[in-house]
Chain A
Amino acid sequence: MIPELGFLSLTIAMALCILLCIYPLWGAHTGNLRLMRAAPALAMGQFVFVLLSYLALVYTSLHDDFTVAYVANNSSSVLPWYYKITSTWGNHEGAMLVWVLIQAFWTVLVAMLSKSLPWLLRARVLGVLGFLGVGFMSYTLLLSSPFESLLPYFPVEGRDLNPLLQDPGMIIHPPLLYMGYVGLSVSFSFAIAALLTGKLDNTWAKWSRPWTMAAWAFLTLGITIGSWWAYAELGWGGWWFWDPVENASLMPWLVATALIHSLSATEKRGVFKSWTVLLAIAAFSLSLLGTFIVRSGIIVSVHAFATDPARGSFILAFLLVVVGGSLLLYALRVAEVKSEGRYQLFSREVALWLNNIFLVVATLIVLLGTLLPLVHKELGLGSISIGTPFFNQMFSILLVPFACLLALGPMLRWKQNKIKLVFNKYALSWLISVIVSSAWLFSSYEEVKVMTLVAVMFAVWIAVTSIIDIGQKVSESSSISRGLKKLGLSYWAMILGHIGFAFVIAGVALTSAYSVDRSVKMNPGDIASLNEYDYRFDGVKSIEGKNFTGHAGIVTVLKENQFVVELYAEKRLYTIGKQFMTEAAIDDGFTRDLYLALGEQFDNGAWSLRIYHKPFVRWMWLGGIIIALGGFLILFDKRYRRRQAPQTTGNKGVMA
């Protein structure tokens, strides 16, 4: 009964969503305010019914209703309750429902928080969001409903959730990622609505910016946690695989990063307007492309999802409509968009423009590396793979000019700058960072690679310039506290974003250069050494979880014969799927992680163990979190607070 109600509820939501797509857009076209005013209520109705539908799925999963195919395939009666809930986004159909739910959530948020917008724009934004909602919801209803029934022949036990997904990281990673992916549809809708209205003024940029920032911050968090999950759960000590599925999330992130920078220039100086619109379209299109890549099974991936040609064609068709339609509209309207500001070569505008270039180039490289194997195969040239070294090489080349800009840009003023004025600051900060980073690396490591030193130098440089900049801005005021108060939240957002990025660079550089690992075959009592740590294998003990059994290798870690920690590296056998899983044991620290993975047992009682020493690996995720915090901070900026604009009581408002 409940699953049927869930399906029904989704159908009702779909009906409301169709109205949400038609009414406001038609109303805006004909100037009919009554039709436009229906939008917020429809958005609310849509959200409520999608939520009911989702709750029905959660209920079904919690109650082990294996008459529902999705629950039977992705859950089991012995699965802990919190994983029963997460199983609702653990596989394709459920994940689509969560996607639709989040889409409806963003839509209703926009509906509620856009009261100060002129009705024409507001209605169009909601109408476009409605259109996207129709696309995703019809896909979910027609091709991938999580409520499909197995009656009358249903299993008594489910197939259990994929053990890889039974991890705390997986509880929060997908919803955060979807908040990001889908959130980009808001900036997309603003761009389309603005193009339809033909007014791309500062109001538009000002409105779009906090929404874009929020989506981007969620995306940042989602990717960061995804990387952490891969590290903790896959058991090979890596945190980025350049896998198509990962690239699918990186591409919209790169473009969204370009977008938030370009938006700030559009908002403050009225420049790059048409470019910003194009980026907004591209960012969301790439998040759709990502869905296509992940959901269609078209690309071979270690963790690709469903493979179903009908689904692939649907998403491809939707992608073509959205991208094609929006580009067409863009082409028709772009001539009317004029940027006002003028600027010189040496100015913040140019720095931001270059930043955008690098980010777009990076996106193209990822796109190329992801799609080339596919094109190659479709052309009948055979199956190829593009290795991690390709991406690493390209990104380390791009990093140098990009990091340079990142350090220099914030110090530049809008419009124009005399090189002389900032030269001293640059020279000073550069000197500090060279000294600090060389002292750091040469004192800690015997061998220092040029690339590592360069990367760390840039990381330090970004941090130093940020601090100098804060100092300078504060010193212009009469007192420190007053100076600090005067710096806006969006300034702090930028500083946090940049410092977070510095952490990421340093973390990636150091952990790539100085991570070491050893695979050893050990009998109980054996000691293996790696760096300054000794690892004593004390044998294995049996473990038993709710839905798994297995062994835990007990390893005592010693440093100069002093006890450091006792670690349990587990090898689990999930009983229902008969799947083995390596559960790595990690002793985390600010400057290093000790990471152990248990291998297989040999006939003579020995075990294989893999020991990793990973310096500064945590800095990457710390950096990601700092960046995201910066993004969220801007939401509290007073400039973006809702001002109650003169409310539209009659037709006068429509024309405003």
Chain B
Amino acid sequence: MNPRRKKRLMAIVAIIFGIGTSVALVLFALQENINLFYTPSELIEGKGPDKQKPYVGQKLRIGGMVVPGSVVRDEDSLFVEFKLIDTGPLVTVRYQGILPDLFREGQGIVAQGHLTAPDTIEAFEVLAKHDEEYMPAEVAEAVKGIKHEKPVYNIPKGY
């Protein structure tokens, strides 16, 4: 093999090795950090054609509407507990901290956290969409078909 070819071969081997390592790293990191999205009914009844349910301890995202009247606050800490609904069963979300400005009973929110019991989530983050259209898109899709009260100040488009 002449030196020039040898050099090329070395370069190619190095590149393949580099790509291989990076792909492995990326896949590993992804596996750890992909959070599946569930709606309350998917969480309880299973998701997809094979009705897959999350396991206790899994990190996930859940989106639904805050059930009116379900918000319970602790007297002297920032602990709060509320229930989420989409079209069927209820799921309890427990959260310690300050809720976003747009958090309301009857509005859509997304919570991120760990499943601590089949129907309970310990959230470390609660998001409400920062926009005048209250509904996070994921939630909007999940609650399609059920009546959602639009805030009255919305001037309909084309009015």
Contacts and interface: CB of A to CB of B under 8 A. Distances in A.
Interface in B143-159: 151, 153, 155, 157-159
A571 to B, nearest CB: 8
Interface in B48-78: 48, 61, 73, 76-78
Interface string B124-159: 000101111000111000000000000101010111
Interface string A362-402: 00010010001000000001111111011001100100000
B69 to A, nearest CB: 15
Contacts of A390: 29-30, 32-34
Contacts of A72: 155
Given A300-B137, A302-B129, A303-B131, A521 B76 contact: yes
Contacts of B153: 159, 576-578
A637 interface: no
Contact of B159 (A155, A381, A520, A571): A155
A587 interface: no
Nearest to A598: B98
Contacts of A578: 151, 153
A159 B98 contact: no
Contacts of A394: 25-26, 29
Contacts of B61: 385
B47 interface: yes
A579 B37 contact: no
A144 interface: no
Nearest to A603: B73
B35 A385 contact: yes
B99 interface: yes
A579 B136 CA distance: 16
Given A519-B98, A578-B153, A397 B25 contact: yes
A169 interface: no
Scoring B26, B96, B151 by chain A CB atoms within 10 A of each residue's CB, the highest score goes to B26
Interface string A289-300: 000000001001
Contacts of B73: 602
Nearest to A235: B101
Nearest to A154: B159
A361 B22 contact: yes
Given A300-B137, A382-B47, A608-B98, A389 B33 contact: yes
Interface string A129-146: 000000000000000000
A387 B129 contact: no
A599 interface: yes
B97 interface: yes
B44 interface: no
A246 B158 CA distance: 31
Contacts of B48: 381-382
A150 interface: yes
Contacts of A365: 26
B78 A300 contact: no
B98 A155 contact: no
A383 B138 contact: yes
Contacts of A368: 26
Given A300-B137, A521-B76, A610-B98, A387 B132 contact: no
B33 A393 contact: yes
A602 B127 CA distance: 20
A234 B138 CA distance: 21
Contacts of B26: 365, 368, 394
Contacts of B30: 372, 386, 390
A153 interface: yes
A310 B14 CA distance: 45
Contacts of A164: 130
B interface bracket (residues with beta carbon within 8 Å of A): 35 or more
A155 B155 contact: yes
**For chain A, what secondary structure do more than half of its interface residues adopt (helix, strand, loop), or is it mixed?**
mixed
A577 B154 CA distance: 8
A336 interface: no
Nearest to B39: A383
Nearest to A610: B98
A385 B30 CA distance: 10
Interface string B87-111: 0000000001111011000000000
Interface string A207-239: 000000000000000000000000000110000
B119 to A, nearest CB: 19
Contacts of B97: 519, 610
Contact of A302 (B18, B127, B157): B127
B16 interface: no
B101 A384 contact: no
Given A382-B36, A384-B36, A162 B131 contact: yes
A411 interface: no
A637 B69 CA distance: 67
A605 to B, nearest CB: 13
Contacts of B18: 357
A167 interface: no
A581 interface: yes
A303 B130 contact: yes
A580 interface: yes
Contacts of B34: 384-387, 390
Interface string A572-596: 0000111111100000000000000
Contacts of B99: 599-600
A393 B29 contact: yes
Contacts of A381: 48
A319 B98 CA distance: 42
Interface in A508-555: 519-521
Interface in A603-617: 608, 610
A382 B39 CA distance: 11
A386 B33 contact: yes
A462 interface: no
A302 B29 contact: no
A159 B155 contact: yes
Contacts of B137: 297, 300, 304, 307
A357 B101 CA distance: 43
Nearest to B48: A382
A581 B30 CA distance: 34
27 contacts: A150-B159, A159-B132, A159-B155, A164-B130, A234-B130, A297-B137, A302-B129, A307-B137, A357-B18, A382-B37, A382-B47, A384-B35, A384-B37, A386-B34, A387-B35, A390-B34, A393-B29, A393-B33, A394-B29, A521-B76, A577-B153, A579-B132, A580-B102, A581-B101, A599-B98, A610-B97, A610-B98
Given A382-B36, A579-B101, 10 more contacts: A162-B131, A300-B138, A357-B18, A385-B34, A385-B112, A386-B33, A521-B76, A521-B77, A577-B153, A578-B153
6 nearest A-B pairs in the assembled complex, by CB-CB distance: A390-B33, A383-B37, A599-B98, A580-B101, A387-B33, A300-B137
